[in-house]
């Protein structure tokens, strides 16, 4: 059998180890073959979740340094970190996060639904909604996985219980889809804030 040069063998092994570390956070797919951008296909039929609530209340969770428990070891990480759900280097399954996404001014008449749907923030919204079942948190991967509720999560346990404030935000978002027949920008979803204003209001959780 032909021997591989020591230098090449060492480099090869290091590459495999790095790939394994990246895969640990997401638990799926080839870490060397991730798409370079988030795809943003047109919307599908059925209920939709609220864009305004996602932008203000859910997206910041993806950027926050959160405690992680994995294989008995404690640490911190962000959901959008490299090797987790980052849109370019993540291995975290369907959820992809564009970290640099900027908030969309929903009070600007120029930001029509068609315009908003081209933004990075909307791509994040679309990706996050894709791992939910609107109206049913317990059937939604976005809710189940970080809690390890009867499902594995390559990134470990992020939230210790459903009483965690971040979990309550995610649960509320999934539990309150836009009214039937209305889209993700419906002003009816502004009741998810107190006062009912996505700019000045605080995020409701009940």
Tens-place pLDDT, residues 109-164: 999 999 999 999 999 999 999 999 999 999 999 999 999 998 889 889 999 999 99
Check residue 25 and give its pLDDT: 57
Has this prediction a pTM greater than 0.75? yes
Confidence of residue 10 (pLDDT cuts 50, 70, 90): very low
Is 83 within 8 Å of 90 (Cβ atoms)?
A: yes
Quick one: which of 69, 71, 126, 120 has its CA closest to 99?
120
Check residue 80 and give its pLDDT: 85
pLDDT digits (tens, 9 = 90+) for 48-64: 999 999 999 999 999 99
Q: Please tell me what DSSP assigns to residue 192.
A: G
Is the pLDDT score of 93 beyond 80?
Answer: no
Confidence of residue 81 (pLDDT cuts 50, 70, 90): confident
Q: Which helix (H) or strand (E) holds 126?
A: helix 120-129
């Amino acid at each position: 059998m032909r021997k591989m040069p020591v230098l090449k063998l060492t480099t090869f092994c290091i590459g495999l180890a790095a790939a394994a570390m990246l895969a640990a956070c997401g638990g799926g797919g080839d870490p060397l073959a991730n798409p370079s951008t988030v795809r943003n296909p047109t919307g599908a039929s059925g209920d939709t979740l609220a864009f305004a609530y996602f932008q203000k209340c859910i997206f910041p969770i993806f950027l926050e340094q959160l405690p992680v428990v994995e294989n008995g070891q404690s640490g911190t990480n962000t959901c959008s970190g490299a090797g987790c759900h980052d849109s370019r280097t993540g291995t975290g399954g369907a959820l992809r996060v564009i970290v640099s996404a900027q908030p969309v001014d929903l009070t600007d008449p120029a930001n029509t639904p068609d315009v908003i749907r081209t933004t990075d923030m909307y791509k994040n919204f679309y990706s996050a909604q894709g791992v939910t079942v609107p109206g049913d948190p317990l059937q939604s991967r976005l809710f189940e996985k970080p809690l390890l509720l009867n499902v594995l999560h390559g990134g470990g346990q992020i939230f210790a219980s459903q009483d965690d404030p971040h979990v309550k935000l995610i649960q509320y978002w999934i539990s309150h889809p836009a009214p039937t027949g209305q889209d993700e920008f419906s002003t009816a979803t502004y009741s998810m804030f107190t006062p009912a204003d996505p700019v000045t209001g605080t995020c409701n959780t009940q």
